[in-house]
Amino acid sequence: MDFVDEVRLEVAAGDGGNGCVAFRREKFVPLGGPSGGDGGRGGSVTLVAHERFSTLFDLRYRKTVRAERGEDGRGKDQFGKAGEDIRIEVPVGTQVLDDESDELLADLRESGSELVVARGGRGGRGNIKFATPHDRAPRRAQPGEAGERRKIRLVLKLLADVGIVGFPNVGKSTFIATVSRARPKVADYPFTTLVPNLGVVSLGIDRQFVIADIPGIIEGASEGAGLGLRFLKHVERTRVLLHMVSVDPDPERDPVADFDQLMVELERFDQSLIERPMLVAVSKCDLPEAQSAYEEVRAALEPRGLVVFPISSATGAGVQPLLEALEATLRQPDDE
């Protein structure tokens, strides 16, 4: 299934049914009086967050959503039937924005949370509602109200405790596959990961957290280079950042420079990101050159107050201490 994290929809609620003008016409009942019923309410369009969805794929080709119109009122005191509501299920973490004003309408961050994005029109009153002692045979009724119509934009931002950021091919996908049941694509060339991957890390009873591999962050990502603008938004909701660096075949690159460049891109995208709790991992430390890189990274970053971990997803070395440190960081109060 394709990972779709942004769609546009035009939603239209149903119009209310018209009220009816009618009079009783029964044998032996002279001057029977008004009997026109009210029109039915138009159907509404509601978004519902559900945890079984992880993408907006089902809405990718659904351009317009239109709810049912309410039925008109009828004679013999019959009210029109209300139009059927439409409920659209979206992933937890979906933001709903007005596509024209860019106003945030709601942030559906909890399973079961709902938002009525287009409310159905009220049905018009029939002439039975206009009868008074001074006008016992009213010949007027109300038309139904028009249902709301608007264009909306749905933006999915993943909800994860830990976000893994790093340049392509530093071992993010291998790491998340090692510590969880996520199975991202792993290969020895850049940009093998084209969509975010979520995994659940379990360290025991009541010791679980969600980890996300955020792809596409390279130099210039905050300005749209690579896949940066598309996926940087998924970092916004992570509570802890795990910077992953490693050796690179390119002699002009080094892990410390990669870390500094990532910090620049995060700051340009959202100033608050660089203030999040963060840890650093040097991956592929089963390789001799990666061991040397770890010493270089540790010497450069520990004076900045950062803890650096040497890990090898291939052998499992150093993985458990890193997971324990991530969990301990998550358990700290947010104001620390």
Task: Indicate left, alpha or beta for 60 from its phi (over 0: left) and psi (-120 to 50: alpha).
Answer: alpha
Beta bridge partners of 49: 90
Q: Does 49 fall in a domain? A: yes
- pLDDT at site 235: 75
Q: Does 336 fall in a domain? A: no
Q: Does 230 fall in a domain? A: yes
The enclosing domain of 61 has a CATH number of 2.70.210.12
- pLDDT at site 145: 96
User: Do 150 and 168 fall into the same domain?
Assistant: no
User: Do 233 and 120 fall into the same domain?
Assistant: no
Indicate the DSSP class of residue 114. Answer: E
User: Do 176 and 147 fall into the same domain?
Assistant: no
User: Do 79 and 19 fall into the same domain?
Assistant: yes
- pLDDT at site 258: 86
User: Do 297 and 185 fall into the same domain?
Assistant: yes
User: Do 170 and 312 fall into the same domain?
Assistant: yes
Structural domain range at position 70 = 1-156
Q: Does 44 fall in a domain? A: yes
Q: Does 187 fall in a domain? A: yes
- For 131-147, write each residue's pLDDT tens digit: 998 888 899 999 999 99
User: Do 193 and 305 fall into the same domain?
Assistant: yes
Among residues 125, 156, 187, the one where a domain terminates is 156
User: Do 180 and 304 fall into the same domain?
Assistant: yes
Q: Is the pTM of this model over 0.75?
A: no
The enclosing domain of 247 has a CATH number of 3.40.50.300
- For 199-224, write each residue's pLDDT tens digit: 778 888 778 888 888 765 555 444 44
Task: List, for the chain, all residue ranges whose pLDDT scores fall below the cut of 70.
Answer: 1-3, 182-196, 215-232, 248-252, 334-336
* Beta-carbon count within 10 A of 62 CB: 12
Task: Indicate left, alpha or beta for 52 from its phi (over 0: left) and psi (-120 to 50: alpha).
Answer: alpha
- pLDDT at site 220: 47
* Cα separation, 231 vs 211, whole angstroms: 15
Among residues 131, 156, 181, the one where a domain terminates is 156
* Cα separation, 220 vs 264, whole angstroms: 9
Among residues 116, 139, 156, the one where a domain terminates is 156
Query: For residue 249, what are its two tokens?
Result: 């075949």
Q: How many domains does the chain have?
A: 2
Q: How many helices (H) and strands (E) does the chain have?
A: 5, 14
* Beta-carbon count within 10 A of 107 CB: 17
Indicate the DSSP class of residue 34. Answer: B
